[in-house]
Homo-oligomer: A and B are copies of this chain.
Amino acid sequence: MSKLATQPYKGARDCYPDQLRLRSYVFEKWRKVARKFGYQEYDAPILEPFELFAAKSGEEIVSEQLFNFEDKAGRRLAIRPELTPSTVRMLAGKYNELVKPARWFMIGNNWRYERPQKGRGREFFQLEVNIFGEASVDADFEIFQVIIAVMQEFGANDTNFSVNVSDRKLLKALLADELMLSAEQVLSARRIMDKWKKISPEDFSAMLKQAGIGEEAIKKIAEFMNTEFADLEKVVSSKILNDNKGYQDLFKLFSLLKKNGLESFVKFDPGIIRGFDYSDGLVYEVFDKNPENRRSLFGGERFDKLISIFDDSFDLPATGFAMGDITLEEFLTGWSLLPELQQSTQVYVTLFEESFRDQTLETAVILREHGINTITALSAEKMDKQLKYAHKLGIPYVIIIGPDEAASGKVSLKKLQTGEQVTDTIEEIIGTIQI
> Hey, which bits of chain A sit against chain B, CB under 8 A?
1, 3-10, 12-17, 20, 23-24, 35-38, 40-49, 51-52, 55, 67, 69-72, 75, 77, 79, 89-90, 92-95, 99, 101, 103-104, 109, 111, 113, 123, 131, 134, 136, 138-139, 142, 149, 256, 259-260, 309-312, 343-345, 348, 357-358, 361-362, 365, 368, 371, 373-376, 378-379, 389, 392-393, 395
**Beta-carbon contact of A49 and B9 below 8 Å:** yes
How many copies altogether? Answer: 2
CB pair A16 B48 closer than 8 Å = no
Q: How far apart are the CA atoms of A392 and B389 in the complex, in Å?
A: 53
Given A17-B104, A72-B113, A260-B361, A38 and B378 contact (CB-CB distance below 8 Å): no
Assess the B134–A260 pair: CB atoms within 8 A. Answer: no
Asked if B37 and A20 make an inter-chain contact with CB atoms under 8 angstroms apart, the answer reads: no
Given contact pairs A7-B93, A14-B44, A40-B345, enumerate 6 new A-B contacts (beta carbons under 8 Å). A9-B49, A12-B47, A38-B373, A47-B123, A67-B69, A260-B361
Q: Are A42 and B67 in contact (CB under 8 A)?
A: no
- Indicate whether A310 sits within 8 Å of B3 (C-beta atoms), given known contacts A47-B67, A138-B378: yes
Given known A71-B113, A89-B4, A99-B393, contact A12–B45 (CB-CB < 8 A): yes
User: Is the pair A43, B23 in contact by a Cβ cutoff of 8 Å?
Assistant: yes
Q: How far is the CB of A87 from chain B (nearest CB, A)?
A: 10
CA distance A309 to B378 in the complex (A): 26
A101 cross-chain contacts in B, Cβ below 8 A: 378
> How far apart are the CA atoms of A344 and B42 in the complex, in Å?
13
Known: A16-B90, A310-B6, A378-B138. A71 touches B67 (CB 8 A): yes
B374 touches A9 (CB 8 A): no
Cβ of A41: which chain B residues have Cβ within 8 Å of it? 17, 20, 24
Q: How far is the CB of A126 from chain B (nearest CB, A)?
A: 15
Residues on B with beta carbons closer than 8 Å to the beta carbon of A142:
376, 378
- B23 near A379 with CB under 8 A, answer no
A259 to chain B: which residues have CB within 8 Å?
358, 361
Q: Does A345 contact B89, Cβ atoms closer than 8 Å?
A: no
Residue ID in chain B nearest A260 by CB atoms: B361
Q: A72: shortest Cβ distance to chain B, in Å?
A: 6
A4-B52, A4-B309, A259-B358 known; A44 vs B17 contact (CB < 8 Å)? no
Q: Is the CB of A40 within 8 A of B343?
A: yes
A75 touches B10 (CB 8 A): yes
A-B contact pairs, 14 of them (CB 8 A): A3-B310, A4-B51, A9-B49, A13-B45, A17-B41, A24-B41, A35-B373, A38-B348, A38-B373, A38-B395, A79-B79, A138-B379, A256-B361, A259-B358
A393 to B134, alpha carbons, bound, how many Å? 16
- Given A6-B92, A90-B16, A378-B79 contact (CB < 8 Å): no
Closest CB-CB distance, A333 to chain B, in whole Å?
19
Contact indicator B6/A89 (Cβ below 8 Å): yes
Q: Report the bound CA distance from A115 to B30 in whole Å.
A: 36
Instruction: Please give, as numbers and ranges, the residues of chain B lying within 8 Å of A362 by CB-CB distance.
Output: 260
CA A72 to CA B344, docked complex, whole Å: 41
User: Are A44 and B15 closer than 8 Å at their CB atoms?
Assistant: yes
A113 to B47, CA, bound (A): 12
- On chain B, the residues within 8 Å of A35 by CB distance are 344-345, 373
A380 to chain B, nearest CB (A): 10
- Residue numbers in B under 8 Å from A55 (CB-CB): 1, 4
Determine if B136 and A14 form an interchain contact, defined as CB atoms under 8 angstroms apart.
no
Taking a contact as CB atoms under 8 Å apart, the answer to whether A309 and B3 are in contact is yes
Please name all residues of chain B whose beta carbon is closer than 8 Å to the beta carbon of A69 when the two chains form the complex.
67, 69-70
Partner of A40, one of B3, B17, B95, B139: B17
**Is the beta-carbon distance between B109 and A46 smaller than 8 angstroms?**
yes
Q: Which residue of B lies closest to A111 (CB)?
A: B47
Please name the residue on chain B nearest to A77 by beta carbon. B9
Q: How many Å lie between the Cα of A357 and that of B260 in the bound state?
A: 11
